[in-house]
Amino acid sequence: MFAPVNEAFRIVLSAFDTALTRGKADYKPHKDRMYMVWHHSWNSEFWDADRKLWDLFDPLWDMRKVFSDVSPWGITGKARRRLRKTMNNALFTFETNLELAGGVEHWDRVAAETRETLKADCRSAIGRVLGKILFGVVQVFWDVLIIRPSRTLVSPLADAIPDVVKQFVDPEDMLERTLNNILLQCCANVFQPYTERIQL
């Protein structure tokens, strides 16, 4: 389960390098700092990284034999969105830092600094993706054992709130989101010691 995620984010570093190599020749600063994202983020290395995450699908599908509510499509989709966001954030950060540094004459230095930031972001993203996989596996149990019983505790409060106010404050919805965020953070924390040791 770890290998496709690790490999995908390793390949993103190559995709970032390729984007900067190709972008250096035709770079045109834009006020939205999205030139690199729009023109160079969709390269073959990025697609290789994206394809690597599809290797999660079969193991997740096999998990359905035990955890029937695991969604291989949903988890794989979230992992792919995190991969795309990590790449786009790195390119946007590069353009922002390039502008702050004074322009294209500082390209190589800013590229090296941004790449180091990207490494840290990739480690963090690996932890998030692995945490989402674990969350996807245990979420149904969490709902049955924690969320549903907790709803009975807040339902008197929810019933006391006028419908007009419920448009802005819904205690049951707030409870569910808060408890799911706690679980998601716990799942991510499980993998933090692992991600800190990853060499990219």
Out of 75-89, 112-126, 146-160, pick the least confident: 146-160
Angstrom distance (rounded) from CA 120 to CA 193: 14
- Residue type, position 114, single letter: T
**Does pLDDT of 167 surpass 80?**
no
Count of structural domains, the chain: 1
Sign of the Cα torsion 180, 184, 187, 189 reads negative
Q: Which of 35, 30, 2, 37 is nearest to 16 (CA)?
A: 37
pLDDT score recorded for residue 159:
79
Q: What is the mean pLDDT of residues 137-142?
A: 90
Give how far the C-alpha of residue 13 lies from the chain's centroid of Cα atoms, to the nearest Å.
Answer: 15
- Its domain, for residue 170, covers 2-196
Cβ atoms of 110 and 98 within 8 Å: the answer is yes
Computed over every residue of the chain, the mean pLDDT equals 92
pLDDT score recorded for residue 10:
96
Angstrom distance (rounded) from CA 48 to CA 60: 20
Q: What is the mean pLDDT of residues 20-32?
A: 90
Question: What pTM was estimated for this model as a whole?
Answer: 0.86
Out of 123-132, 140-149, 163-172, 174-183, pick the least confident: 163-172
CB-based contacts of 107, cutoff 8 Å, min separation 6: 20, 24, 27, 98
**Tokens at 52, concatenated:** 């690597």
Determine if residue 199 is left, alpha or beta; phi over 0 gives left, psi from -120 to 50 gives alpha, anything else beta. Answer: beta
- Residue type, position 163, single letter: D
